[in-house]
Amino acid sequence: MRVRSVVRELLETAIFILLVFFIVRGIVQNFKIEGSSMEPTLHTGEYILVNKLVYFHFDLNAPLRLLPGQESLDQKIIYPFHQPRRGDILVFEYPRDVSKDYIKRVIGLPGDTLDIHDGKVFVNGSELSEPYLGGAATACLGSRVCGSGPFVIPDGTIFVMGDNRNNSSDSREWDSLPLDRVVGQAWVIYYPVSSWGLVPHHDY
């Protein structure tokens, strides 16, 4: 009886550990920074934790579409906490290859009017304050945001750019990012120890 009791306790403990692991994995995930696109804010080789819960969302109309005659009902997306905001640094699936994860900063939100000229970024007609660039200019990279007049960010998408504007593949190159590609908000740098701390987002 004692052996059975010990085996049962071990199984229960293993199941509990696995359950906790999957719950935590659904809320927080670790990523390694590769490349220099977010310098000087984040550096290659750093490890970060990403908060996947903060951008959690669901379609309020999804259950209604199961009813007869309601199949074409529009989505009604609800964010219990908040959707990505300007200045947030987030991890997302690269739109051209979802097997790759990228990290960039949110510059524009759905409905925003965006323009880039004279090396500066303008959102809704006002120049964006970007102290994290250290005075570096923002190049166009052939984007339709430049030269052809203000660009209105489509619904359901955001415009993201790296802090290292001269060395970043971002929305200037491959257009605005669908919100459903967002993995989560960069939260904590945990390695190396010398870099430990909260990821520095920016409040515009």
Residues annotated catalytic, as ranges: 37, 104
Beta strands in the chain (DSSP E): 28-32, 47-51, 58-59, 77-78, 89-93, 101-108, 113-117, 120-123, 126-127, 151-152, 157-161, 177-178, 182-191, 197-198
- Residue 46 CA to residue 11 CA, distance in Å, equals 36
Angle at Cα 155 formed by Cα 201 and Cα 104, nearest 5°?
Answer: 25
Burial of residue 112 (CB within 10 Å: 0-12, 13-18, 19+) is middle
Residue 61's Cα: distance from chain center in Å?
24
